[in-house]
Amino acid sequence: MMRFWPALVSVALVLPVLASQERSSVEQEIHAMETRWNEARARADVATLDRILMDDWTVTHANGTTDTKARYLDDLRSGARTFSGGITESDVTIRAYGDTAVAAGSSLSSVTLNGQRQGGKLHFTRVYVKRNGEWKMIVSHATQRP
């Protein structure tokens, strides 16, 4: 039994490091997804958004309205939804749970939908799932912040 102790100690020391590296890798991938998401929205890059979002993606906006992927992309494509300038994020945290990750933080954007102002100072939560080796956003929720 004593000859197994060095192996057990080695495994006990290596596993937390590997888990931390995996978590760090997922965090980097989700931060990159957040950047792509915000850049694509600001440029109305519907093709990129189509790749990022799951087909059954939904969003709940800060005013309580909801959109499907199809409606959201149609609004961007038609110019009904427009972003003025970029979208900034702060205080973003990423939590990974296997093939699921949750991004939460604050954002600032200037958006209009059919001429009505939206966006502004928001708190957001977005859920990503890994499918066929790629991260995809499945849901997004925003709340107005003071």
| Contact between residue 62 and residue 118 where contact means Cβ atoms under 8 Å apart | yes
Residue of higher predicted confidence among 21 and 97: 97
pLDDT in tens, 41-69: 999 999 999 999 999 999 999 999 999 99
Label residue 115 exposed, middle or buried (CB < 10 Å: 0-12, 13-18, 19+): exposed
| Contact between residue 56 and residue 138 where contact means Cβ atoms under 8 Å apart | yes
Buried b (16+ CB within 10 A) or exposed e, 81-99: bbbeeebebeebebebeee
- Would you kindly state where each structural domain of the chain is located, as residue ranges? 2-144
Q: What is the rounded end-to-end Cα distance, in angstroms, of the chain?
A: 61
DSSP letter string, 127-145: EEEEETTEEEEEEEEEEE-
Q: Which residue has the tokens 């933080």?
A: 105
Backbone angles phi, psi at 95, to 5 degrees: -120, 130
CA distances from 87 to 20, 56, 134 (A): 29, 24, 23
pLDDT in tens, 103-133: 999 999 998 899 999 889 999 999 999 999 9
| Contact between residue 86 and residue 101 where contact means Cβ atoms under 8 Å apart | no
CATH topology of domain 2-144: Nuclear Transport Factor 2; Chain: A, (3.10.450)
pLDDT in tens, 77-107: 999 999 998 899 999 999 999 999 999 999 9
